[in-house]
Structure formats: C-alpha cells, structure tokens
Structure 1
Amino acid sequence: MEVSSSLRDAFVHLVKDIFPSLTTQDPLYNALALGAILTVALLLYIVARLVVRPQIANWVYRTNNLWDNALQEHGFFRRLMHLVPALFIFLITPVLIDSESVLHGLMIKSAQLYMLYSGLLGVFALLSTVEDVYNASALSKRAPITGFIQVTKLGFAILTILLSISLIVDRSPLLLVSGLTAIAAVLLLIFRDTILGFVAGIQIAANRMFNTGDWITMQKYEVDGEIQEIGLTNVKVQNWDKTISTLPTYSLTTEAVKNWRGMQESGGRRIKRAVYIDIHSIKLCDSDMLDRFSKVRYISEYIETKTNELRAYHRDYSIDESDLLNSRRLTNIGTFRAYLEAYLRKHPRVNQELTLMVRQLPPNELGLPLELYCFSNRKEWVEYEKIQADIFDHVMAMLDIFDLKAYQRDGHLAHLALASSNPNAAPNSSDAE
C-alpha cells in the first residue's frame, strides 16, 4: 500500500508540475494516466521481447531436450511475453486511476481479457508441444492423440469465451452455463461433426484401429494411401498419386475401411494372381514329354517319384501302361503345377514360412485359372511389384516348355477361324476337344 501511495503521489506531483491547476478528477488527468500506463506497458513488452526472449531461446537451444525446443518452435515463450504488459496494466491501473472512474473498470477488464487470451495461446502452444513430443515417441505408433489434443484445445477455448463474457457482463460463469441448456439442441447441430469425431477418436485410440502412417483403402471415398493426420473432425490421407484426401474422422468407424497395417507388420506381402490356361492345350504326358520334364532341375525328383508310383500301381492291378482307358498317367498341367510350387519353394524373394501353394480354380469361359498364392519377403510397393512381375515372367515363359498355352481371347478366336477355314487340316493336340 505504501508503495502504491508513493507511486500515485509521485505521478500526481509530476502531472501538477506540468499542469498546476489539474486535479485527479479531470478527464485530462485520466488521459495522461492512461497514456503513461500504455507507454510503460509497451516498453516492458519491447524489453521482454528483445532482451528476455533471446536469452530464453539461447538457453533452450543449448540443451538437448526435445520438449523445450518444441516449446520454442510453437511460440510458448513468445506468447507468455504478453503477460508482462497485461499484468502491469492490471496492477498499476488501481494506483493511478480512481476506482470510481469508468476508465478504471475498462482498463481492469481489458487487462484481465489480455491475460486470459495470452494464457489461452500459451496453453495451446503447450498442448501442441505435448503432441509433438508424444508423436516423436514409440507410443505414437500404438495410439494417436491428435484428436484428444484438439478436444482439449476446444475445451479451453470454450472456457475462455465463457470467462470473457462473464467479465464483460459482470455475471457468474455458472449463470452463463445454465443458460446454455436452452440452446443445447442448436449446439448439437453445430458441433455434430465434432462430437462424432470425438467419439470416433476414443474408439480408434481404445481399439488401436488406425494410426498415422497406416496404409488404408476406402472405395467409397476413393482413398488409397497413408494416413497423415487423425484430427478431431477430419482425417488427412496422402494417396499414392500424391493427392491429399480429407474425410470425416467418424467415417473410419462407420464405413468399410481396409487397413494394410497387418501386412506391413507381417513377414511378407501376398501375391495372389492366376494365369488362365487354354483348356485345349491340357493333355496326358507321353514318354517323350516325361523324358523332357525329367531334365528340369526342380521337378526331376518329382517325375521319378510319380513314375515309380504309377508303375507300381499298374503292376499291382495288372494294367497295361499302353491301355489309355484304364491306366493312370501324368498330365502336363499337373506337372506344371508341381514345377511352379517347387520353383516358388526355391525362390529367394518368397517367404517360405507363410502360406505357399499353386492351385486350380473352377474353369470358366476364359480357361482354367492356375493361381499362385504366396508371400513376398519384401513389402515395399516397388520391390513387391518387381518380385511379382519376375515370377509371372517366368511362369508365362515356361508354359511352352510344358506344351501349355495361356488363354488369349483374340488369339483363340483367330485359331478357331483358321481351323474352320481349313477343315481338311490335321488336328493337333491343342485342337482336341
């Protein structure tokens, strides 16, 4: 109190030296007091901005901590500098200006609002720092917190607005909150996406459904790429064509979404593709074909085993091997299937610990689908496509070795047209029905 009185007396004495007849009740005195308060407050802010803040920045960058660097980058210390002039105005106004003056109430409320919103910006910077530090940790791979940070920011913003209105109208914030119940339905409509996004964010975090960096596919929104950010109301996805898709957060829990995280965390990426074999090229193997197939490294043992098995079968049941009706013989499609499986078993880029098979699918108008089902040990898109292409390059090139043909609609029609135009031509194995 003594310091306040001394400061007021000194200011009044200074003013009267300039204006001897001026009293503290004159409007000119209040104007001079206001000008003095604002001038000193501005000088304090400039000193804090130009002297104190660089010192804090030097101290921050000398340390190896991540959190203080993030605080500096988000402007936490810069925003706190505004509290210095606001606090000065709040403390010095009652000293120089009479409490009964209108200007006194205006200055006090302005200083309180200044401190309130400066503190809100500081809290925003602090929450952004928490988000950055969390995203840099290993925990961020398990559950994102961007949505929760945004909800917290929204809560502080709403609280600040309520306190601001309470200061302006001189009413308790509880009265304002009680009045909000009358417009609750309107607020629900306004904040519909926010509420749905908040609920979806809880589900996503609790069940670890999605995270930043996950590869997702959503046919409804034509989304195919990696999640860049999971916010309170929106999710940003960078598609593989480098475009950015923005979709509602709640759509991740209400729409059909394919998350490729399981593939990324597994030991390989699935290869599941079929080659359509022309049914007319499928036939039984004769001795010449078996001799030729037995020279293929991957199936030489298979040919020998199967030949001995069939020879024993014919001997046990007294069946002449030349009897095509009752004898058992290998087929070129079955031998080719055995070759492909053996080829995949020896392929260095195929994961041998996951499912691996070569199977026939039901025949259709395009021929007999021969499907390769395996997993590459490289999951990167470019490498995966190279491995898959190399495998099917080999598959297509080996068809002729096993006297098989891949079905090709135009080529097959041309072949039939040639056969119909030359009915006296001798049929070959591929013409047999």
Structure 2
Amino acid sequence: MIIDFQTLFTQLRTLLTENGFAGSGLKYAYLSIGLLCLVLFLFVTLFITRQIFIGVINKIIIKRKPQWQSALLEFRVFRAFALIFVAYILYSVIPYLFIDFKKAHFYALIFAKIYVVLAVMFAVNAFLNALVSIMESTRKYADKPIRSYKQVAKIVFYIVGFVLILSIILNESPLYIFGGFGAVTAVFILVFRDPILGFVASVQMSAIDLVRVGDWITVEKYGADGEVTEINLTTIKVRNWDKTVTIVPSYAIVSESFKNWRAMEESEGRRIKRHINIKISSIKFCDDELIQRLQSIDFLKDYLKETQQEIERYNAEHTVNPGNLVNGRHMTNIGTFRVYAEKYLESNPYINTNLTFMVRQLQATENGLPVEIYVFSKEKGLKKFEEVAADIFDHLLAAVPYFDLEIFQNPSGSDMRQLIQRS
C-alpha cells in the first residue's frame, strides 16, 4: 500500500478508547470520525491532483502545444486517471472503516468495487479517444479507419466492464457470467433483434456523428426528406417538408444509403446546378451586326473589345481569308452568351464566387445543347435558395434571344396546328 490505512485506523480506535469511548459509542464515533476524515482526505486529494498537479501539467501543455499532449488534455485523460487513485483509496479504506458493521461493510465493499471498475472504464475510454485523435493527426494513419477499431475496442471493453460489475453484484466469478451468456445468446438475439440492431446503430451514429436531431436528411427507400425530430433506440422520426412524418429504422441509416444535408448547411454555400437547353440550329458565328448590338450590354463591353482586337490580330498574323467566317477565329453567339452568364453571376450578391463557379457546356443531345450553371448560393434556406435560383434563370432565359439564340422546346399541339395552317 502507498498509505498504511490499517495503522491510521488502529491509532484512531486507540485514541477514542483512551478518551473514554466504549461499546456502541466507540463504534459510532469511530465510524463518524473515519467517514469525516475520509471525505476530507478525498477532497484534499482531488484538490491536489486536479488543481495543482493537473493544473501545472495543463499550463505546460498549453504553452508548448505538442500534438499528443494536447490530445491528452482535450480528452481529460489526466483527470480520468486521477479518479482511479480516488477509487483505490476508497476501496482500501472500507475494510477498516466498517469493521464494526458487517452488513454495511458488505454493501460498501460492493459499491467500492463497482466504482473501481467504472473509474477504470472511464479512464480507458478517455485514453482511447486521445490515442485515436493522436493517430489520426499523423500522416501514417490519416487515411486508416482508426475510429472503427476504436468502436470495436470500446464495445468489447464495455462488455467486459458490464460482466465484471454483474459478477460483483451477484458475487459470482466473471467466467460463470460469461458462460451463462453463451447459453442464452441465440434466444436473446432472436427476441431482441431490432433493439440490438438499433443499439448498435445508435452507437455507430453517435461515434461517427452520422445523424443529429435537427439534421435535414433524405432516405429515398423510406420516402423520408425532411428534418430529424427524434432519435430513439430503434427508430428515427423525420418530419418531411410536406408536414408528413416518416419513421426510419435506426439500423437503416448505417446499413443503407442516405443523404445528410448538414455539411451543406454548415458550409459557405448551397449548390445551384441547372441547365438551359439551347436549340443547336440557332448557334452561329457573331457577325458585325450582332457584335454591334451586343456592345450595348454593360457586362460585355470590355470583353467584346478585347476579344475582337485579339481575334483581328490573330487573323492578320495568320493571313486568314476574311471571305468566310469559318476561316480563322471568330466569336460565336453561344460562347458570348456563356461569358455574359458568367459576368452576370459574378455581379450577383447572392452567389459565393469563392466556391466552385463555372458556366459550362454539356454533351449535346436530341434536346439541344445544355448550358449548365454550376455555382453556389450564399442563401441556404430552402425558400430563399429557390428564389435566388429562380431569379437567375428568369434573367438568363429572357436574355437568350438577345444573342440570336433559341431555347429548345419540344413541339406542342398548337405548334403542329400552326404548321398545318401555314402549309
């Protein structure tokens, strides 16, 4: 022993006897003074370890900021191991403190043993968290599934801790408890299949932070698209945007595909990814008349001037025959429209230009040439986001005819009737 508690309590009993205590008075005085001394001793011990010893260590760590020591500080590993020392003191004192009270001694010893197990579990849990944090910060383990190994280790350790506590309460060997588990495992799994799957899923969701209350998730298989309002052992309640409620099994979140929009909501923007189909037959080179008209558009003034000068210089250097627009370099109405769309979007105060920002052409199809807008809106709320996207495409759709372009549209019944009437 680090401290000889037997000698200390023997001296206490001797002191009380010398001062006239005897019989039941001696027993209760011995217990009362012993408890008071134990509480004071634990208080002083915690004060010394937490406020002085651990405080000094924390100041050194904060000053130097080494990675591994910072992780130990972040997950309170030193505080956790200090509890083991307190548990050791408690377990060592009880046999001498309750020596005159057999029944109280029995229950107090059970409590002390359970506290020791819980203190060790708490310390190991903190150490595992710190260890994983340290390993993930290193290049060697950065891309390894360290958290999965930590989860398995914790589950095994918790099971062992639970068995130890159960064996202490039942006063049986841990091996006996483990043997009993083996006999009922098959029936237990069959009867409590959903709660077990839900419990495992809950542990995984909590450990890797998959879903929180308030998250916007989409689970297509179950028709869920809305906000998580409640997370239980076996189910997750989702209030959809149409005000209906969908119940999703907890294990479906970890075993099947789903979409969590939290990362988008915490980011600097929400993606707008939509396209306009341009009628291919309306695409052409820009002639002088079209260029002259487009120069009245503020967003294109500088672009047209600089690009026209560059094209004329190139064509002159390469002695291009100006009789055919196919020769040499020339601007096209579709390319000029794409530049206009970029300039317009850059001027839009609701667009975050620090994120991915582009106006691009996709593969031409039987429905025309798609010109896609791929930008991020600063507004992430559903209503405001849709308003920003609608305003952008309202403007661009209205601007298309100014470039002698046409929007592709499948012919309707009225189009066919007009065609027949003209013929």
Common fold by TM > 0.5: yes
> Does 2:24 align with 1:34?
no
> Does 2:111 align with 1:110?
yes
State how many pairs are aligned.
Answer: 351
TM-score, normalising length: structure 1: 0.56
Q: Residue 317 of structure 1 corresponds to which residue in structure 2? A: none
Q: Distance in 2 between matches of 1:274 and 1:99?
A: 89
Q: Distance in 2 between matches of 1:291 and 1:20?
A: 118
Q: Distance in 2 between matches of 1:284 and 1:111?
A: 84
Alignment match of 2:197 (pick from 192, 201, 216): 192
**1:308: how far off?**
3.5
1:61–1:195 Cα change, 3 Å: same
More displaced, 120-129 or 381-390? Answer: 381-390
Q: Distance in 1 between matches of 2:29 and 2:6?
A: 18
Task: Tell me if the contact between 1:41 and 1:86 (Cα under 8 Å) persists in the aligned partners.
Answer: no
Q: Distance in 2 between matches of 1:200 and 1:85?
A: 33
Q: Distance in 1 between matches of 2:110 and 2:75?
A: 28
Q: Distance in 2 between matches of 1:405 and 1:172?
A: 80
Q: Distance in 1 between matches of 2:11 and 2:400?
A: 103
> Does 2:50 align with 1:53?
yes
Task: Tell me if the contact between 1:144 and 1:211 (Cα under 8 Å) persists in the aligned partners.
Answer: no
Residues 330-379 of structure 1: per-residue CA shift (max 9 Å, x gap): xxxxx99x5214654796889999974473534xxxxxx54214x75x66
1:306–1:33 Cα change, 3 Å: farther
Q: Residue 230 of structure 2 corresponds to which residue in structure 1? A: none
1:193 partner amino acid: G
Q: Residue 168 of structure 1 corresponds to which residue in structure 2? A: 169
Alignment match of 2:276 (pick from 267, 274, 277): 274
> Does 2:253 align with 1:251?
yes
1:254 partner amino acid: E
2:17 partner amino acid: K
**1:113: how far off?**
1.9
Q: Distance in 2 between matches of 1:236 and 1:62?
A: 47
**1:60: how far off?**
0.7
Residues 66-90 of structure 1: per-residue CA shift (max 9 Å, x gap): 5545544544444444434432233
**1:251: how far off?**
2.7
Percent identity among equivalent residues? 16
Please give the residue correspondences for 1:29-428 in structure 2 after superposition, counting only pairs within 5 Å: 29-55=26-52, 56-63=54-61, 64-72=65-73, 74-95=75-96, 101-130=102-131, 133=134, 142=143, 149-184=150-185, 185-187=187-189, 189=193, 190-195=195-200, 218-219=219-220, 220=222, 222=224, 248=250, 250-255=252-257, 271-275=273-277, 292-293=289-290, 308=324, 339-341=333-335, 343-344=337-338, 356-357=361-362, 359-362=364-367, 369-373=368-372, 376=374, 393-394=395-396, 396-402=398-404, 404=406
1:354–1:371 Cα change, 3 Å: closer
1:155 partner amino acid: V
Secondary structure, counterpart of 2:172 in structure 1: coil
1:387–1:145 Cα change, 3 Å: farther
**1:180: how far off?**
1.2
Task: Tell me if the contact between 1:66 and 1:133 (Cα under 8 Å) persists in the aligned partners.
Answer: yes
Task: Tell me if the contact between 2:278 and 2:406 (Cα under 8 Å) persists in the aligned partners.
Answer: no
Task: Tell me if the contact between 1:341 and 1:357 (Cα under 8 Å) persists in the aligned partners.
Answer: no
**1:38: how far off?**
2.5
1:406–1:76 Cα change, 3 Å: same
Secondary structure, counterpart of 1:359 in structure 2: coil
Q: Distance in 1 between matches of 2:324 and 2:173?
A: 97
Q: Distance in 2 between matches of 1:306 and 1:217?
A: 57
Task: Tell me if the contact between 1:89 and 1:111 (Cα under 8 Å) persists in the aligned partners.
Answer: yes
**1:432: how far off?**
5.8
Stretches of structure 2 that go unaligned for 5 or more consecutive residues are 228-232, 241-246, 264-270, 295-303, 313-319, 347-352
Task: Tell me if the contact between 1:200 and 1:253 (Cα under 8 Å) persists in the aligned partners.
Answer: no
Q: Distance in 2 between matches of 1:235 and 1:131?
A: 29
1:371 partner amino acid: P
